[in-house]
Amino acid sequence: MEKVACALTIAGTDPSGGAGIHADLKTFQELKSYGMSVITSVVAQNTTGVQALHHVPLEMIEQQLYSVISDMPVHAFKTGMIANIDMMKVIAKKIPSIAAPYVMDPVMVATSGDPLIEEQARDFLRKELLPLTALVTPNIPEAEFLIGRKVETTDDMKKAARSIVHDLGAGAALVKGGHLDGEAVDFLYDGTTIYSFSAKRINTKNTHGTGCTYSAAITAYLSQRLSLYEAVDKAKHFVTKAIKGAFPIGAGNGPTNHWAIREKGVFQ
């Protein structure tokens, strides 16, 4: 029988289709991994911001996890938005039973600036979930929170990546430079080596879902058994294309994940 790579995302929703579970599943599909999802929160949001949040009851999160894990193979998984400590506890308890690399996108606020997780949950995420990861993918503000210092230069980014691994216990750290000026450069530290991944900065406001799409692409490639370096390298190309090909739809920060539609010519 042919083998299929299976990737799981544990995250919140985005009915406008640009971020969260929706971006993750579209990315898994585009990269030819079989996509599965556990929904933590239903989020009423669009390109302009977050309008309302509804948290899925804890038993239901646990049940969704059980439904997937008890029946399906999982070759890599990621977490995105996990709104509060109780949800984090439920997820942390199940993680050790998933024998696959764990990629954490430490989502804290939406591109619009709206908070997606409770203030007190940030500490729990850092102390309890981070040490379970194979890779964590903070942007600059998230890296600053994790290490408790300002990150203003590429040198600071490299130091942050090292400190997230050595001081906080992450398996590896990818500190993303989307929030700095100049080249869009990200640094990966795997415990021994710093690697950089760079792309020309694209002049666009359509960046809704970039972090989700990037971490989902890494997860998809890891599910296909690529090395961490190869997975990040290919995912960086994917997210750059996704930002380049984004359509200016919606009144705010447009979604990034439409380049495949553009390439295949199915648009008006």
Ligand X SMILES: Nc1ncnc2c1ncn2[C@@H]1O[C@H](COP(=O)(O)OP(=O)(O)O)[C@@H](O)[C@H]1O
Ligand Y SMILES: Cc1ncc(COP(=O)(O)O)c(N)n1
Q: Which residues are catalytic?
A: 176, 207, 209-212
Q: Is 239 in the site for ligand Y (CB under 6 A)?
A: no
Q: Is 16 left (phi over 0), alpha (psi -120 to 50) or beta?
A: alpha
Q: Which of 80, 177, 254, 255 binds ligand X (CB under 6 A)?
A: 177
Q: Which is nearer to ligand Y, 225 or 254 (CB)?
A: 254
Q: Is 236 in the site for ligand X (CB under 6 A)?
A: yes
Q: List Cα–Cα distances, 3 to 9, 31, 34, in angstroms.
A: 20, 15, 11
3-state DSSP call for residue 133?
Answer: coil
Which segments within 56-205 are labelled E, that is strand? 76-79, 102-104, 135-136, 173-175, 184-189, 194-199
Q: Which of 5, 8, 10, 12 binds ligand Y (CB under 6 A)?
A: 12
We find the least distance from the C-beta atom of residue 101 to ligand X, in angstroms, to be 19
Q: Give the range of 121-129, 157-165, 205-213, 224-232 binding ligand Y by CB under 6 A.
A: 205-213
Restricting to residues 106-165, name those near ligand Y by CB under 6 A.
107, 110-111, 116
Which segments within the chain are labelled E, that is strand? 6-11, 34-39, 41-46, 49-55, 76-79, 102-104, 135-136, 173-175, 184-189, 194-199
Quick note: the x/- pattern for ligand X over 79-118, rule CB under 6 A, is ----------------------------------------
Question: Which of ligand X, ligand Y, none binds 254 (CB below 5-8 Å, type-dependent)?
Answer: none
Q: Are 37 and 7 in contact, with CB atoms under 8 Å apart?
A: no
Site residues for ligand Y per CB under 6 A: 11-14, 19-20, 43, 45, 80-81, 107, 110-111, 116, 208-212
